[in-house]
């Protein structure tokens, strides 16, 4: 399995600031991505930057990605997702070390460019696995709260580029 990589850029719409975003930031929490936030993505293999909303509005970009929840309180991550081929990837629970839950991204982002980026805590740091192998991973890298940046990795045998765009849209806009 050879993973492919890319970056995600989120731009929160400051003109549509709402009480929830202000509340989250006031208490030091991450600003959740909402419908007014712009999400841009770039796949390392093509180096093409595109807007997720614009991409999803194009013809021939349909996907059958489905996310599943145990129950849906505010900001719960989906326990699994089903890809276009009907295979189910499950959320990998963080490893607990000294009472702190951590996800290990070192083996996934091991090339020099991605390995040196400073990773920070985020609601959107996640790993989904299929048959004990990582098929979709996102992690936030050091960036501003108004313009958070993420790196991602995916298994191209499990997800197409279009599936990845749909999945990012679904996961980031819970």
Domain spans, the chain: 4-172
Q: Residue 114: what are its φ and ψ, rounded to 5°?
A: -85, -30
145 confidence band (pLDDT: 50, 70, 90): confident
**For residue 148, what pLDDT band results from cuts at 50, 70 and 90?**
very high
Q: What is the pLDDT of residue 146?
A: 82
More confident residue, 46 or 25: 46
Q: What is the DSSP letter of 94?
A: P
pLDDT at 75 over 60: no
- What pTM was computed for the model? 0.86
pLDDT grade for 1, boundaries at 50, 70 and 90: low
HEC readout, 135-160: EEEEEEECCCCCCCEEEEEECCCCCC
- The answer, yes or no, to whether residue 72 has pLDDT greater than 60, is no
């Amino acid at each position: 399995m050879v993973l492919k990589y890319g970056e995600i850029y989120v731009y929160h719409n400051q003109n549509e600031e709402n009480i929830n975003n202000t509340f989250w930031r006031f208490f030091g929490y991450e600003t959740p991505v909402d419908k007014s936030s712009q999400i841009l993505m770039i796949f390392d293999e093509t180096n093409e930057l595109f807007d997720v909303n614009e991409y999803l509005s194009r013809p021939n970009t349909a996907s059958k990605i489905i996310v599943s929840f145990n129950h849906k309180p505010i900001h719960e991550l989906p326990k699994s997702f089903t890809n276009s081929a009907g295979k189910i990837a499950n959320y990998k629970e963080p490893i607990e070390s000294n009472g702190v839950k951590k996800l290990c991204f070192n083996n996934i982002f091991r090339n020099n460019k991605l390995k040196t980026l400073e990773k920070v805590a985020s609601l959107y740091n996640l790993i989904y696995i299929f048959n004990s192998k990582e098929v979709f991973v996102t992690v936030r890298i050091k960036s501003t709260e108004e313009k958070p940046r993420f790196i991602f990795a995916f298994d191209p045998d499990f997800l197409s580029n279009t599936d990845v765009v749909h999945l990012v849209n679904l996961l980031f806009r819970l």
